[in-house]
């Protein structure tokens, strides 16, 4: 056997093993569960704006990585509501990142169309279509995250109730629930416990928890804890009762969703049926739909039909959407 070939094979084997080991170590340092948890805490600490003795011990979110843009964004109306939406979605974006992802691709499409001497109107239309996409993505992530927190909340309340019955304090029970529960509820409990450890009052920490996860069930739990701290009582029993109420409400909500599934499916079918019928007619007999384009009253008829469809869909959605 050729010695050079054997040496090359051995060297290749060692290189592949080293590459796998280095990749595994890199993954453990950057993307493992412990690394992500440490990164969240470091980012939370890094977002604290210390300004001497007048600074607050409560972590303040940064609107931008640049001080100039942060000061500029603070003067923008409704920017705090947008920042609160990003915080509730669980994304590690600040306001400047969100605005960059919203505006820069649309501007880039328009500039590229000018450089390539393309039609400006389609590029502008594509840019306008892109503008609501980041906001839709953030709202979708927020809804999904809040649903996960709501599903984990009864288990979290039971875990804190058992810890209180075992003799732990409420802050220790909050820490235990944060360590045992998976994200996102575990991360929220850990952050509330960290705020208490940093010196924030229990009232402020729980209010911040309810702000980061604006759920009625979580607010009930926070209000119950605050009332117990003011008037006294068995907090373990209170948390157990709150957990039972949340479970019963979710059970009733599931039954309502099952009973309203037929109405929701009917709404989807009625929404898609006109477009499906129009598409079939266009392929079978294109001349039949030509008057809707050539006749002056055709666009008005189409617009009137679409407006009625939207009104009917909104009405059906309000009928089948029952709040519990």
Here the CATH number for the domain that contains residue 197 is: 1.20.81
30 falls within a domain: no
126/150 same-domain check: no
Q: What is the mean pLDDT of residues 195-224?
A: 89
Q: What is the mean pLDDT of residues 187-197?
A: 90
pLDDT at 58: 47
Q: What is the mean pLDDT of residues 104-118?
A: 81
89/122 same-domain check: yes
Domain boundary, last residue among 197, 221, 245: 245
103 falls within a domain: yes
Rounded CA gap, 141 and 152, in Å?
A: 17
Q: Which two tokens stand for residue 44?
A: 């939370």
Q: What is the mean pLDDT of residues 219-230?
A: 88
For tokens 């003799």, name the residue: 167
58 falls within a domain: no
105/172 same-domain check: no
309/235 same-domain check: no
Q: Is the pLDDT of residue 4 over 80?
A: no
The pLDDT-based confidence of 23 (bands split at 50, 70, 90) is confident
First and final C-alpha spacing in the chain:
78
How many CB atoms are located within 10 Å of the residue 200 CB?
A: 19
Helix (H, G, I), strand (E, B) or coil at 66: coil
Q: Which two tokens stand for residue 54?
A: 């007048």
Mean pLDDT lowest for which of 89-93, 178-182, 207-211?
89-93
Range among 13-22, 72-81, 173-182, 287-296 with highest mean pLDDT value: 173-182
219/153 same-domain check: yes
Closest C-alpha among 150, 104, 152, 156 to residue 130: 104
87 falls within a domain: yes
92 falls within a domain: yes
The pLDDT-based confidence of 87 (bands split at 50, 70, 90) is confident
Q: Is the pLDDT of residue 150 over 70?
A: yes
Q: Is the pLDDT of residue 192 over 70?
A: yes
**What is the domain count for the chain?**
3
Domain around 280: 260-320
275/205 same-domain check: no
Alpha-carbon dihedral 20, 24, 30, 34, rounded to 10 degrees: 180
The pLDDT-based confidence of 56 (bands split at 50, 70, 90) is very low
78/125 same-domain check: yes
Instruction: Give the mean pLDDT of the chain.
Output: 81
Domain boundary, last residue among 184, 213, 245: 245
Q: What is the mean pLDDT of residues 272-301?
A: 83
Q: What is the mean pLDDT of residues 293-311?
A: 84
pLDDT at 300: 86
150/120 same-domain check: no
42 falls within a domain: no
Region of 199 (left: φ > 0; alpha: ψ -120 to 50; beta: rest) is left
Between helices 185-197 and 202-212, what is the axis angle to 10°? 150
Helix (H, G, I), strand (E, B) or coil at 94: coil
Q: Is the pLDDT of residue 324 over 70?
A: no
265/212 same-domain check: no
161/116 same-domain check: no
Domain boundary, last residue among 104, 130, 156: 130
Residues 6 or more apart whose Cβ sits within 8 Å of residue 217: 150, 153, 242, 246, 249
55 falls within a domain: no
pTM for the full predicted model? 0.69
**Burial tier of 241 (Cβ tally within 10 Å: 0-12, 13-18, 19+):** middle
pLDDT at 24: 79
The pLDDT-based confidence of 2 (bands split at 50, 70, 90) is low
- Distances 129 to 96, 109, 119, 123, 126 between C-alpha atoms, Å: 20, 11, 16, 10, 5
Residues 6 or more apart whose Cβ sits within 8 Å of residue 45: 59
Q: What is the mean pLDDT of residues 136-142?
A: 93
The pLDDT-based confidence of 54 (bands split at 50, 70, 90) is very low
187/217 same-domain check: yes
pLDDT at 189: 92
75/159 same-domain check: no
Contact 161, 239 (CB under 8 A): yes
Q: Is the pLDDT of residue 303 over 80?
A: yes
For tokens 């059906």, name the residue: 316
How many CB atoms are located within 10 Å of the residue 61 CB?
A: 16
173 falls within a domain: yes
Q: What is the mean pLDDT of residues 279-292?
A: 83
Say which residue, 17 or 323, is predicted with more confidence. 17
Contact 214, 200 (CB under 8 A): no
Q: Which two tokens stand for residue 272?
A: 């898609």
Q: What is the mean pLDDT of residues 123-149?
A: 89
């Amino acid at each position: 056997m050729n010695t050079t070939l054997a040496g090359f094979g051995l060297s290749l084997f060692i290189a592949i093993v080293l590459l796998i080991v280095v990749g595994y170590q890199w993954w453990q340092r950057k993307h493992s569960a412990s690394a992500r948890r440490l990164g969240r805490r470091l980012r939370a600490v890094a977002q604290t704006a210390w300004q001497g003795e007048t600074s607050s011990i409560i972590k303040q979110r940064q609107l931008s990585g640049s001080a100039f843009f942060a000061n500029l964004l603070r003067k923008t109306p409704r920017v705090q509501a947008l920042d609160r939406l990003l915080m509730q979605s669980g994304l590690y974006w600040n306001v400047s990142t969100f605005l960059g992802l919203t505006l820069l691709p649309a501007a880039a499409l328009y500039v590229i169309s000018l450089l390539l001497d393309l039609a400006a109107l389609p590029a502008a239309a594509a840019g306008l279509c892109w503008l609501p996409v980041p906001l839709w993505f953030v709202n979708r992530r927020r809804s999904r995250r809040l649903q996960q927190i709501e599903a984990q909340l009864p288990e979290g309340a039971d875990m804190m109730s058992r810890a209180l019955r075992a003799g732990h304090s409420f802050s220790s029970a909050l820490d235990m629930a944060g360590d045992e529960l998976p994200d996102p509820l575990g991360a929220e409990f850990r952050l509330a416990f960290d705020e208490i450890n940093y010196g924030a009052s229990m009232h402020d920490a729980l209010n911040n928890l309810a702000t980061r996860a604006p759920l009625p069930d979580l607010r009930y739990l926070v209000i119950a804890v605050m009332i117990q701290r003011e008037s006294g009582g068995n907090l373990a029993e209170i948390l157990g009762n709150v957990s039972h109420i949340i479970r019963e409400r979710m059970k009733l909500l599931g039954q309502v969703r099952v009973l309203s599934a037929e109405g929701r499916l009917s709404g989807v079918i009625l929404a898609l049926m006109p477009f499906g019928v129009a598409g079939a007619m266009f392929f079978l007999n294109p001349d039949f739909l030509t008057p809707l384009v050539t006749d002056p009253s055709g666009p008005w008829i189409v617009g009137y039909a679409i407006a009625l469809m939207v009104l009917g869909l909104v009405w059906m959605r309000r009928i089948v959407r029952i709040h519990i």
